[in-house]
Structure formats: structure tokens, C-alpha cells
Amino acid sequence: MKTRRWALFIVLNMIISVLTTLGVLSLKGELERVVVVTATSAVTDLTVVPTAIPAGQVVPTAILEPPDVSPTALTSNQYTVQTGDTLGGIAFALDVPLDELLAANGLNEDSIIRPGQLLLVPRDAALAPDEPTPSVIALSPTPGTPTPFPTETPTPPGPVQVRVQEVLAPGELEREGVMLINRGRTVNLQGWTLGAVGDEGRYVFPRLTLAQDVPVTVYTIAGADSPQSLHWGREAAAWGTPDTIIELRDAEGDLIATYTVP
């Protein structure tokens, strides 16, 4: 009798152990399935499915925006180069043909421009309707700090004392230039001319106000103008012949100064 009871007890224990083991294995399998499904879902969410692109279609990688041309960067028919500017971007923003912008400044598409450089604008750039058109650039004794003058500012009284200081590298086109200096009152050089006696080809000054004791150099070659350097745009040297007499005349044609090339 006792033997039967022990045998029954042992059989029951075995059945319970088997059921417990099966339950543990089943729970483990379910957990693994959940982990696998979750991991698979995460990978699926992160997978980027490429979109089919028709043959021959160009997919843009970036859009270049035109420079933010602030009216403060513009003067009358001039633009001050800002950081990040390109010649094409400036032409687009100012609504000026690129070839005209390059020709006006003696540049080509490979030319390098730098922040602070002044570029001549072939025609008036479109400013915002509520922005007044800036007036002239005035040269101050401190280089690089131009001060605007009103367009209709009357010329102060006193004698005009703009003089030809010297001729730089006469006969060498790449370096040749005429340095002027103002020893008298402030004067507007717009319409003044510079040239040799008897020579019909003369340089005509743009709108530029020259303060006392401030120099400005007129270079023979083409280039970008600035408050301290202007460019004639000739293809040959102008002052290579000794004893050439240089004349500086005002807008009315009156003789202001002469200089003999050494």
C-alpha cells in the first residue's frame, strides 16, 4: 500500500515538473519572439527606401540663394562686396547682366573679389521703394571709412588746390598711375578730366568727393574703383614718354594743375 502511494507521489511530481518546464520554455519563446519583432520593427522604421528617379532627370543637391544685398552696401552706381559674395550672385541680386558687371570693372568670371571691394554697377540697382538712393562717396583722411555727402551739397568757398603729386611707374601699364592730392578745401571731382596736352583721350572722373589732404591715384589699367584708387581702363601706357605734360581740368574745362613727366 505504501509502495503504491510513493509511486503515485513520484508520478505526480514528474508530471508537475514537466508542466512547469514546458511553461517556462513557452514563456521564454514568447519573450524572444517579442524582442525579435520589436527589433525588426525598429530596423524597418529606420530603413530609407530610395525613390525611383526617371532616367535623365537631374536631382538637385543644393539651391544657391542670391546674396542678401542690403541697400547699405550700395552707393551711387557702386556696390561694396560683402563676405560670401560672388560675381554671379551680385549680378543676379542687382538685376544686372553678369557680362556688363564684369566689363564695367575690368574683370572676368575667374576674377577674385574680396570683402570691402567696390564694384561699379553699370546701371542703377533696384532698391526697395522705401529706401532712398544713397548719394556720393566722400573720401575722409582715414582710409577705408568713406562718409556720405548730400548730393546737392554746395562747394565750400576757397581756392581749389588739387595737385598732381607724382606719376607712378611711367610706361609700365600694370603699375602706371597718377597720384593726386587735395591741399585745399573739399571738392567734388565729378566731370573733371585728366590727360596729356594735345591728347584727345582723357580720363573723366566719376562722382567722388575729395577731402583736404586726401590722395587718390588714377591707374592706367582697368580695375575695380575704390575711394583711394580709380582706373582708366586703357590697354596701353599713357605716361611713358618723358616731358609729357599732364593736365588736370575741372568740369567746366578750367585748368587746375599741370605736371611734367620726368
Domain encompassing residue 171 = 162-260
Q: What is this structure's pTM?
A: 0.44
Indicate which CATH number applies to the domain containing 239.
2.60.40.1260
Residue 153 lies in a domain: no
Q: What is the pLDDT of residue 95?
A: 82
Query: What pLDDT score does 60 carry?
Result: 43
127 and 166 housed in the same domain: no
pLDDT in tens, 214-227: 899 999 999 999 98
Tell whether 236 is covered by a domain. Answer: yes
Three-class SS string for the chain? CHHHHHHHHHHHHHHHHHHHHHHHHHHHHHHHHHHHHHHHHHHHHHCCCCCCCCCCCCCCCCCCCCCCCCHHHEECCEEECCCCCCHHHHHHHCCCCHHHHHHHCCCCCCCCCCCCCEEECCCCCCCCCCCCCCCEEEECCCCCCCEEECCCCCCCCCCCCEEEEEEECCCCCCCCEEEEEECCCCEECCCCEEEECCCCCCEECCCCEECCCCEEEEECCCCCCECCEEECCCCCCCCCCCCCEEEEECCCCCEEEEEECC
Residue 68's pLDDT is 52
- Indicate if 127 and 167 belong to the same structural domain: no
Q: Of 87, 109, 131, at which residue does a domain stop?
A: 131
Compute CA distances 24 → 27, 35, 46, whole Å. Answer: 5, 17, 33
For residue 137, is it within any domain? no
* Residue 65 falls inside a structural domain: no
pLDDT in tens, 5-60: 767 777 777 888 767 766 655 655 554 554 343 433 443 444 434 445 455 554 44
pLDDT for position 8: 74
Residue 144: inside a domain: no
Residue 20 maps to a domain: no
In a domain, 140, yes or no: no
Does 138 reside within a domain?
Answer: no
Instruction: For residues 175 and 255, state if they share a domain.
Output: yes
- Regions of the chain with pLDDT less than 50: 31, 34-51, 53, 58-66, 72, 125-154
Same domain, 167 and 228: yes
185 and 99 inside one domain: no
Looking at the structure, tell me whether residues 121 and 204 fall in a common domain: no
What is the pLDDT at residue 112? 86
Which one of 86, 116, 131 terminates a domain?
A: 131
